[in-house]
């Protein structure tokens, strides 16, 4: 989705759960083509992600963190989620984690990701976090470049994520917050 009107970044509400689930799945299908098995990507369905987003968005203030959306016109162009780090080697009172930034197909290259990143970092700084980290697929060069432009650097931590039944190698990036 693209829209020439100025996007608004705002906190997600429960009514955004459906559009977020849609962006989440369609983004994976576009972004991870060639990085994950195609049959896995083809089998993703927004209806399967909807209950998760409904649950997260119906419990504001929970330690799960926050979700922001970039809205333009009548639709959601993307979303970001963040909160305390889930990494055991980091202090969740001082270190935050960007858990996801995903854009709707067609929304790449229009500045929506930069807006979501800036709003997320501003929010985390306002909450008193000193550092922020994130995990990215080691083969996702476009995302890695995006994070490096935003001031993130790999810190040497690696992991294999096999939650989805796939073995995905990830690299941790970190940066200081103002």
Per domain, the residue ranges of the chain are: 8-176
- Sequence-distant (6+) residues with CB within 8 A of 20 are 12, 53, 57, 67, 69, 76, 79
Residues in the chain: 178
**What is the assigned CATH class of domain 8-176?**
alpha beta
- pLDDT tens column, 119-144: 999 999 999 999 999 999 999 999 99
- pLDDT tens column, 77-115: 999 999 999 999 999 999 999 999 999 988 888 889 999
Alpha-carbon distances, residue 42 vs 37, 46, 51, 145 (angstroms): 9, 11, 20, 26
Confidence bin at 59 (pLDDT 50/70/90) = confident
């Amino acid at each position: 989705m693209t829209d020439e009107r100025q996007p608004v970044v705002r906190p997600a509400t429960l009514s955004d759960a459906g559009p977020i689930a849609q962006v989440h799945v369609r983004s994976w299908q576009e972004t991870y083509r060639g990085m994950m098995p195609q049959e896995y990507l083809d089998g993703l369905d927004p209806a399967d992600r909807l209950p998760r987003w409904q649950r997260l968005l119906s419990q504001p203030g929970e330690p799960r963190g926050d979700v922001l959306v970039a809205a333009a016109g009548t639709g959601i162009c993307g979303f970001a989620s963040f909160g305390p780090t889930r990494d055991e080697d980091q202090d969740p009172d001082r270190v935050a984690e960007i858990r996801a930034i995903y854009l709707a197909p067609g929304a790449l290259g229009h500045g929506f990701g930069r807006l979501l990143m800036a709003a997320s970092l501003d929010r985390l700084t306002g909450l008193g976090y000193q550092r922020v980290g994130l995990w990215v697929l080691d083969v996702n060069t476009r995302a890695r470049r995006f994070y490096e432009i935003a001031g993130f650097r790999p810190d040497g931590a690696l992991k294999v994520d096999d939650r989805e039944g796939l073995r995905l190698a990830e690299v941790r990036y970190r940066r200081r917050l103002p």
